[in-house]
Structure 1
Amino acid sequence: MTAPLRILQVNSRFAGGGTDNQTLELTAGLRDLGVQVRLSIPEGTRWLPLARELGVPVHAFPARSSLMQAAIRQWRSVIRAHRIQIIHVHQGRDYWPAIMAARLAACGTRIVITRHLMTRPRRFTRWFLLSMADVVAVSNAVLDVLKQELHGPLSRLHLIYGGIDTAKFHPVRTPAALDFRRQQGWEPDHVVFGVVGAFDLPRGKGQLELLDAACRLRAEFPHARYAIIGQGSMESLLRERITTLGLEQAVRIVPFTEKIATVLSALDVLTHPAVGAEALGLVIWEGMSCGKPVIASRLHGIPEAFVEGEHGFLVPPGDAGALAEAMRALLTDPVRCRRFGEAGRRHIIRHFSREILARQVNELYCGLLTNQ
């Protein structure tokens, strides 16, 4: 009988967001495959209880100014104590501490890095990363950036999409979701469009474009409602725009919540009108897994997330008029709206579930160790 793999997942930020969520999803998926997986995250993060709920060993290191020194010490100790075969890194600032920890442990541990962002690697990283680690891109858009920027053997670049917990993100509108709708003042006949994500200056995730689109639709569709779910430095600007446009009754700003599955279940349509760099937009898959049709920007990795015309619509980034037209198309055709949602759910189950993510990453691990 083959001994289970011994893997350490590391993430030194873990403050909430797509990268942190995918760290949890991968850890849970590997656990379900029988992998001996461990997770290292900083102390004090509000996501620590969620990590402990996974039922895998969690190593929390001090979150202070000497963060990286603490991480290197802990990771080296964990590697030695548990004979870790692969350390898997999810944050850019963790690359070199993980490499240092593996070198200091001197156990032959391999390094795997998942690149979750569209941003270009730093200059030093570009020259040396592929000589020390295998790098996973979460979309073809990210892979293209890495091929252009990194120097080294391209055979160490891999494409593995993220994965969604389809049991958690499901299409049945739960009592909690119904309560959430009531709390927001949404009636059963209201059609709710929602955008989920941080809204930091200067542009956020297209929240301003959603408000402009809502203004265009207000007179024609008084039963439409809009939710901005998240937090960030644009909040005062968004509230000012809501007042200026006269949308106080139609729009709700909802603080970030860890119960995002409940919020998505309460929506009718997920909008993701991103205007900045987007590796993929995992919230799109979460919404689709909940059976929601999607309207999103045709930007970077987003078109890889779903099939236009089968699961939703793609619109030019920053084009509030095009966004409004796509929203109008769903408001006037509830049958298509439902069909998009049902097809999207099936698409996630077939191609982008947590189980598929874990299986593909596990195959990568096995291949690396076989060829070591």
Structure 2
Amino acid sequence: MKIFIAESSAAVGGQEWAVLLHAEGLRKRGHDLRLILEPGSPIAEMAGRKGLPVELVTMKRSRYPSAILAFRRLILRERPAILQVNSSCDSWIGALAARLVPCRPKIIRIRHISTPLNNTFATRLLYRRLLDMVIVTGGERTRRALIERDGLAADRVAAFPIGLDVEYFRPAPPDHDLRRELGLPGDRKLVGLISYLRTYKGHGYFIDAAARVLARHPDTTFLIVGEGPEEQAIRARIESGGLTDAVKMLGFRHDLLNVFRSLDLFVIPSVEGDTIPQVLMQALAMGLPVVSTTVGSIPDVVMDGETGYVVPPRDAAALAERIEVLLEDASLRKRMGEQGRALVERVYSIDRMLDELERVYRNVLTSRQSPDR
């Protein structure tokens, strides 16, 4: 099957990694695949290093007309069966370009967030008329929201998590323990948050929870890993709270396996927007207990009391309480970590996700229904 995957993002986060994961997996399964990416973007550089076929198209809003024509030329030349889009810009460009060719590809939007759709004419046009299928990277509760809250047709919405390579993300001793790198005692407890630094990831609540936990557990260090637009605001919050010795920002790391394997537990306090964060799945696969929130489809994988704990979003006190429970009980951390790993192996492997993705492709290609109905 010939497949185009477009991504206009110039950031680096779970969504961009998911695009590469899809591309690599589909290509290994024998599909004729091509990525359409923004020139100079980190994802284009990463795709090149992985040897994935890439077409560079400038997709900034100011360049929409030329981008639409570039997509049209690519579609006419390559005749893909599927055009998979991931962000707003590439969705509009791809959907409009497809309307300018005689035998258009099916347009599938992958939606990596759980926030409501904008209630505008343009958004309704895109989702109800121009797209053939929407896949949300979450569970059934996120899918039902798009149907019941946003009015999408049930037969044109699917939901399943991104999936991951369970052999790559597996428990093991770190090659390089962060305690040694940071000059910390070998018995220091490490609580980590790994994510792109966006407001909806809840870093402020992580810092506030850290302050509460440190009052009773001063032998704990909190780590924030990642980069993004909120970096300076997060640093300022740590400094204003007098927490610079206990809450450390490590920036972007290429050695995420070592980061995960150095941690005692993982926290991702999302306040909105997330479906099932990819990094959360990675933490579970690494055998880490997780403390997160009830946002999106997170409770489908962080099963409260089994693979970790979920608390209401924007509740630093509840977050701190659950972190303390895990810090104080090594056997509970071990049990939850083992159950989280078993869940990912059983339900959320990359192979299972690719099976679901290919099933959606086949259904869309054989369906006589049109988004124009």
TM over 0.5: yes
Q: Which residue of structure 2 lines up, in the alignment, with residue 197 of structure 1?
A: 195
Q: Are the equivalent residues in 2 in contact too, given 1:44–1:63 (CA < 8 A)?
A: no
What residue in structure 1 maps to residue 371 of structure 2? none
- Distance, in Å, in 2 between the alignment partners of 1:343 and 1:315 is 19
2:21 is the alignment partner of 1:22: no
4+ residue runs of structure 1 moved beyond 6 angstroms? none
2:285/2:340 contact within 8 Å kept:
yes
1:141–1:279 contact (8 Å) kept in structure 2: no
Which amino acid in structure 1 is aligned with residue 184 of structure 2? W
Change (3 A) 1:75 1:261: farther
Q: TM-score, normalised by structure 1?
A: 0.89
The residue number in structure 1 matching 2:135 is: 136
The one of 3, 8, 31 equivalent to 1:7 is 3
Give the equivalent residue in structure 1 for 2:70. 74
Q: What SS does structure 1 have at the residue aligned with 2:30?
A: coil
Q: How does 1:283-298 map to 2 (within 5 A)?
A: 283-298=279-294
Alpha carbons of 1:45 and 1:181: their partners in 2 closer, same or farther (altered >3 Å)? farther
CA distance in 1 between partners of 2:233 and 2:366 (Å): 54
Seen in structure 2, the aligned counterparts of structure 1 residues 65 and 309 have a Cα distance that, compared at 3 Å, is closer
Distance in 2, matches of 1:66 and 1:282, equals: 31
Cα distance change of structure 1 residues 112 and 232 upon mapping to structure 2, 3 Å threshold: closer
One-letter amino acid matched to 2:142? V
Q: Is the 8 A contact 2:302 2:310 kept in 1?
A: no
Residue pair 2:36, 2:56 contacting (<8 A) in 1 also: yes
TM-score by length of structure 2 reads: 0.89
Task: Map residues 29-44 of structure 1 onto 2, 5 A cutoff.
Answer: 29-44=25-40
Distance between the aligned counterparts of 2:136 and 2:235, measured in 1? 36
**Structure 2 unmatched ranges of 5 or more:** 369-373
Which residue does 1:351 correspond to in 2?
A: 347
Contact 1:126 1:151 in 2 (8 A): no
- Cα RMSD, aligned residues only: 2.3
CA distance in 2 between partners of 1:65 and 1:99 (Å): 15
Structure 1 residue aligned with 2:181: 183
Aligned residues between the structures: 364
Residues in 1 aligned to 2:66 and 2:340: alpha-carbon distance in whole angstroms? 43
Mean CA deviation greater in 273-282 or 293-302? 273-282
The alpha-carbon distance between structure 1 residues 110 and 232, as it changes in their structure 2 partners (threshold 3 A), is closer
1:317 match: 313
For 2:146 and 2:98, the matched residues in 1 are separated by: 23
Match of 2:145 in 1: 145
Give, as a single letter, the amino acid of the residue that structure 1 aligns with 2:180. Answer: R
Matched, 1:369 2:348: no
Q: Distance in 1 between matches of 2:127 and 2:80?
A: 20
Q: Percent of aligned positions with the same letter in both sequences?
A: 29
1:113 to 2:109 alignment: yes
Secondary structure of 1:366's match? helix
Deviations 1:243-283 (A, max 9, x none): 44443322211213354344323322110112233222222
Using the TM superposition, name which of 212-221 and 185-194 deviates more: 212-221
Whether 1:90 and 2:89 are equivalent positions in the alignment is no
What letter is aligned with 1:57? P
Stretch deviating more after TM superposition (165-174 or 189-198): 165-174
1:155 maps to what in 2? 155
**CA contact 1:184–1:252 (8 Å) conserved in 2:** no
Which amino acid in 2 is paired with 1:160?
A: F
Distance 1:182 1:71, change over 3 A: farther
- CA distance 1:71–1:341, change in 2 (3 Å): farther
For 2:145, give the aligned amino acid: V
1:306 aligns with 2:302: yes
List per-residue Cα deviations over 1:185-241 (Å, max 9, x = no partner): 3332111111122444xx552222222222222243232110112234544443344
Q: Report if aligned partners of 1:43, 1:61 keep a CA contact under 8 Å in 2.
A: yes
Change (3 A) 1:320 1:65: closer
